[in-house]
Structure 1
Amino acid sequence: MDDALQFLRTQILDAAASHTPLDIRSHGSKDAWRPVPVRAEARVLDVTPLAGISAYEPTELVVTARAGTSLAELEAALVEQGQCLAFEPPRLGGRGTVGGMVASGLAGPSRASVGSVRDFVLGVTMLNGRGELLSFGGQVMKNVAGYDVSRLLAGSWGTLGVLCDVSLKVLPRPVATATLRFALSAPEALAKLTAWSRQPLPLNASVWHEGVLLLRLSGAQAAVDAARHSLGGARLEDAVAGPLWDNLRDRTHALWAFAAQGLPNGQRLWRLSVAPHAPMLRLRGEWLIEWHGGQRWLLSDEPVDAVHTAAAQAGGHAECHVGAAPGEPRTVPLPSVLARLNQQVRASFDPHGLFDFLGHAHAH
Structure 2
Amino acid sequence: MTSTEHGAAPTTLRPENLHEARDAVLDTPGSLGITGAGTAADWAGRLRDVDAVLDLSGLHGIIAHNPGDMTVSVHAGTPLRDLQAELAEHGQHVSLDAARIADGATVGGLVATADAGPSALVHGGMRDLVIGTTTLLADGTVARSGGHVIKNVAGYDLAKLMHGSYGTLGALVEVVLRLHPTPKATGTVALACPLAEAAGHASRVLESPLEPTALEWISGERSTSEQGRLLVRIESTEAALPARMERVAALLGAGAETTSDDVWDVHVSLVRGSGDGAVLRIGARPSRLPGLLAGLPCTTVTAGLGTGVATVTVPGTAVAEAHEAVHAVGGTSVLRRRPAGLDAPAWGPPPSALAVLNAVKAQFDPDGRFGPGRFDPWEIP
TM tier relative to shorter chain: 0.7 to 0.9
Which residue identity does 1:331 align to in structure 2? W
Q: 1:216 aligns with which of 227, 230, 233?
A: 233
Task: Say if 1:201 and 1:223, in contact at 8 Å, map to a contact too.
Answer: no
Task: Say if 1:136 and 1:146, in contact at 8 Å, map to a contact too.
Answer: no
Residue 283 (structure 2) pairs with residue 273 (structure 1): yes
Pairwise CA distance, 1:123: 0.5
Paired residues for 1:7-18 under 5 Å = 7-15=20-28, 18=29
Paired residues for 1:316-335 under 5 Å = 316-323=331-338, 327-335=343-351
Paired residues, number: 337
Aligned to 1:127: 136
Q: Deviations over 1:265-302 (max 9, x none)?
A: xx533332222122333233324233225223333347
Structure-2 change in CA distance of 1:147 and 1:175 (3 Å): farther
Pairwise CA distance, 1:95: 2.2
Task: Say if 2:270 and 2:302, in contact at 8 Å, map to a contact too.
Answer: no
Q: 1:21 aligns with which of 31, 40, 51?
A: 31
Distance in 2 between residues matched to 1:105 and 1:223, nearest whole Å: 33
Aligned to 1:235: 258
Pairwise CA distance, 1:348: 1.2
Pairwise CA distance, 1:304: 4.3
Among all aligned residue pairs of Structure 1 and Structure 2, give the percentage whose two residues are the same amino acid.
Answer: 31
Mean Cα deviation higher: 118-127 or 283-292? 283-292
Q: Deviations over 1:231-283 (max 9, x none)?
A: 222112xxx32x332453xx4x1563424xxx1xxx53333222212233323
Aligned to 1:346: 361
Aligned to 2:325: 310
Structure-2 change in CA distance of 1:146 and 1:80 (3 Å): farther
Aligned to 1:62: 71
Distance in 1 between residues matched to 2:302 and 2:103, nearest whole Å: 25
Which residue identity does 1:7 align to in structure 2? E
Distance in 1 between residues matched to 2:71 and 2:51, nearest whole Å: 35
Task: Say if 1:122 and 1:147, in contact at 8 Å, map to a contact too.
Answer: no
Aligned to 1:149: 158
Distance in 1 between residues matched to 2:208 and 2:199, nearest whole Å: 15
Pairwise CA distance, 1:163: 0.9
Structure-2 change in CA distance of 1:106 and 1:65 (3 Å): same
Distance in 1 between residues matched to 2:89 and 2:354, nearest whole Å: 44
Q: Deviations over 1:177-210 (max 9, x none)?
A: 2101112111111111122112222211133224
Paired residues for 1:152-163 under 5 Å = 152-163=161-172
Which residue identity does 2:181 align to in structure 1? P
TM-score by length of 2: 0.79
Aligned to 1:193: 202
Structure-2 change in CA distance of 1:222 and 1:312 (3 Å): farther
Mean Cα deviation higher: 320-329 or 291-300? 320-329
Aligned to 1:206: 215
Pairwise CA distance, 1:226: 4.0
Q: Deviations over 1:319-340 (max 9, x none)?
A: 33334775532222323x5112
Task: Say if 1:56 and 1:62, in contact at 8 Å, map to a contact too.
Answer: yes
Which sections of structure 2, spanning at least 5 residues, go unmatched?
Answer: 1-14, 148-153, 220-225, 250-255
Q: Partner of 1:44: helix, strand, or coil?
A: strand
TM-score by length of 1: 0.83
Task: Say if 1:70 and 1:97, in contact at 8 Å, map to a contact too.
Answer: yes
Distance in 1 between residues matched to 2:270 and 2:99, nearest whole Å: 16
Distance in 2 between residues matched to 1:61 and 1:340, nearest whole Å: 38
Structure-2 change in CA distance of 1:84 and 1:289 (3 Å): same
Q: 2:42 aligns with which of 32, 39, 51?
A: 32
Task: Say if 1:122 and 1:167, in contact at 8 Å, map to a contact too.
Answer: yes
Paired residues for 1:92-103 under 5 Å = 92-103=101-112
Distance in 1 between residues matched to 2:213 and 2:177, nearest whole Å: 20
Structure-2 change in CA distance of 1:166 and 1:256 (3 Å): closer
Aligned to 2:274: 258
Q: Partner of 2:346: helix, strand, or coil?
A: coil
Structure-2 change in CA distance of 1:224 and 1:166 (3 Å): same
Aligned to 1:244: 263
Pairwise CA distance, 1:100: 1.2
Mean Cα deviation higher: 222-231 or 94-103? 222-231
Task: Say if 1:111 and 1:291, in contact at 8 Å, map to a contact too.
Answer: no
Mean Cα deviation higher: 92-101 or 177-186? 92-101
Structure-2 change in CA distance of 1:344 and 1:75 (3 Å): same
Which residue identity does 1:230 align to in structure 2? R
Structure-2 change in CA distance of 1:327 and 1:13 (3 Å): farther
Aligned to 2:93: 84
Task: Say if 2:72 and 2:177, in contact at 8 Å, map to a contact too.
Answer: yes
Mean Cα deviation higher: 275-284 or 20-29? 275-284
Q: 1:112 aligns with which of 101, 111, 121?
A: 121
